[in-house]
Amino acid sequence: MILIVDDKRENILSLKKILEINDFKVDTALSGEEALKKVLKNNYFLIILDVQMPGMDGFEVAEAISGTSKTRDIPIIFLSAVNTEKRFITKGYASGAIDYVTKPFDPDILILKVRTFYTLNQQTQALNKIQQSLREEINIRTKTQLELKEKNNELQSILETIPQIAFTAKPDGTIEFVNAHWYEYAVSANDFPMVKSEEESIAGKWKKAIANGENLELELCISKRGSEVYRWHLLRAIPVKENENIVKWVGTFTDIEEQKRALYKKDEFISMASHELKTPLTSIKAYIHLLNAAIQNEQKSDEMKLFVERTQKQVDKLYNLITDLLDISRIESGKLKFNKKWFNFKTLLQNTVETINQTYPAYTIHVAGDGDVEVFGDDSRLEQVLINYLSNAIKYSPDCKDVYVTTTASDGRLQVAVKDYGIGIPQESQKKLFDKFYRAEDTSNRFQGLGIGLYICSEIISRHNGTFNVESDAGKGSTFYFTIPIGNKNNN
Ligand code: ADP
């Protein structure tokens, strides 16, 4: 819209008509004051301003208009019949006019000028829009960049706190960030940690993953700088995508040595357990075969009795093995049950020694000490401990057939010691004997076993608030101890 400001109605009318004929919308003001009010309220792309007016003259109006930010950029054309002198024209321009037209004016020229201003206004508006949207885009980009930086910082802080070796890389695979753990293993931020074998080299597989944009998962052995100890690690690197495009890679090396060992131990255990279970089964099969043959040949019942006894022995062995395996899983799930009551320890010991004597008639168990005390506990579980200690003493003493059991009661506790003169245990193995699946290295090939008996004993003793330990000299023999609290049945 165009605003015509003139104190003479007839001037306004003629000018308005010319402009409206040319499709311009027109608004009018009869004084400078009215014009100022209107420019603040409405949007005009051009003001045609009469210089000569009572009250505020055109110059003052122009100055006021160019003084406020809303109206500053509206172009003003001065119309003047009187002030055609150069100094007035100059003043007009100085007070903010864009053009100065003297009356009488040529309507065609005026329309041309108005059109030019209109086009200029349109272009300015278009430019302003472009400028605005550019500004918005710049703002969005700056914000995104800031957010990205913040996200990156956050990610890097997280990677610094985790126990793994961690890194991030650019989409092309160039490493851009490594955490402190990285330097424990690698010489620089650009080099991956050294791997044990050449075939495991990370670089080649890393390049392939980058080229294919696929997750990388590698198990490899790496060592700390300056150390010869290699440990299994899992390298896992994944691409981080934004709008389907890879923007970075995040990777970690996780120490999986313990899992690897556990897995190896589990496999080893399964193979040992299968072997242990198969041996008595093979004997049972053979004795049943012999029994069958004996029945068919109507052989003497003495021989048949012997086969049945031997079968029975192997069945007991199998039963004990399976009971031990079940106990292990009960311990793991916290379901090992105890049925505690008062019992006399001496009686328990005598019965146990009798059972062992029957099973191993070639051995002599010497019992000494004051085991005649009352114990509050699970007698069958404590018998299990005694049987384990005694049968180990026998198993690991192939050349000496004497085993000594000594009981000592003092300070409210009973100590039981089982001593043998067998193969003994090297110092370095002694600490681990009560660990699950542990077997001293040099015995594992010569003697059958699963390495779970002492572990179960340790659990049973601990559940009776007891203690256990071993003293041994390799090649000379061992003494296995346990202590449990005792009481007087009448006092408790
Ligand atoms: P297993 O005898 O089935 O291997 P245990 O848990 O009973 O399992 O014993 C763990 C290990 O302790 C044995 O493998 C053996 O190396 C050692 N050990 C236990 N008792 C004796 C002993 N009396 N003399 C020598 N070594 C023993």
Within 8 A by CB and 6+ apart from 4, the residues are 12, 15, 16, 19, 26, 27, 28, 29, 47, 48
Substitution site in 360, 425, 456 for ligand 1 pocket (most atoms within 8 Å of beta carbon): 425
State in Å: Cα 439 to ligand 1 middle: 6
**Contact 248/169 with Cβ under 8 angstroms?**
yes
341-491 CATH, one of 3.40.50.300, 3.40.718.10, 3.30.565.10, 3.40.190.10: 3.30.565.10
Residue 194 burial class via C-beta count within 10 angstroms: exposed 0-12, middle 13-18, buried 19 and up: middle
Q: In ligand 1, which atom is closest to the CA atom of 440?
A: 16
The stretches of 297-344 forming alpha helices (DSSP H) are 301-332
Ligand 1 neighbours, Cβ below 6 Å, are 388, 392-393, 396, 420, 422-423, 425, 433, 438-440, 443, 449-455, 478
State in Å: Cα 462 to ligand 1 middle: 19
Each residue of 54-91: b (16+ CB within 10 Å) or e? Answer: eebbbbebbebbeeeeebeebbbbbbbeebeeeebbeb
Compute the distance between CA of residue 339 and CA of residue 330 in angstroms, rounded to an integer: 15
Q: In ligand 1, which atom is closest to the CA atom of 420?
A: 23
Neighbouring-strand partners of residue 341: 377
Q: Structural domain boundaries of the chain?
A: 2-127, 162-255, 260-333, 341-491
pLDDT for 389: 98
- Report mean pLDDT in 10-residue bins for the chain, 492 residues: 94 93 95 93 92 88 86 87 72 75 86 90 91 95 92 93 96 95 93 79 88 94 92 96 93 96 87 87 90 81 86 89 90 90 96 93 94 94 97 95 96 96 94 91 81 95 97 96 83 46
Element (H, E) at 114: helix 107-161
State in Å: Cα 447 to ligand 1 middle: 9
Substitution site in 392, 448, 476 for ligand 1 pocket (most atoms within 8 Å of beta carbon): 392
Q: In ligand 1, which atom is closest to the CA atom of 396?
A: 24
State in Å: Cα 171 to ligand 1 middle: 56
Superfamily of domain 162-255 in the CATH hierarchy: PAS domain (3.30.450.20)
Q: What are the CA-CA distances from residue 159 to residues 103, 147, 149, 216, 428 (Å)?
A: 79, 18, 15, 18, 39
Q: Which residue, 55, 436, 22, 472, is CA-closest to 265?
A: 436
Give the sheet arrangement for strand 230-242, strand by strand.
175-178, 165-169, 245-255, 230-242, 216-223
Q: One-letter amino acid identity for 82?
A: V
Substitution site in 428, 454, 470, 482 for ligand 1 pocket (most atoms within 8 Å of beta carbon): 454
Substitution site in 269, 279, 416, 433 for ligand 1 pocket (most atoms within 8 Å of beta carbon): 433
Compute the distance between CA of residue 386 and CA of residue 441 in angstroms, rounded to an integer: 24
pLDDT for 492: 45
Nearest CA to ligand 1 atom 8: 451
CATH T-level assignment (fold) for domain 260-333: Helix Hairpins (1.10.287)
Superfamily of domain 2-127 in the CATH hierarchy: Response regulator (3.40.50.2300)
Q: One-letter amino acid identity for 333?
A: S
Q: In ligand 1, which atom is closest to the CA atom of 441?
A: 16
Nearest CA to ligand 1 atom 7: 453
pLDDT for 34: 94
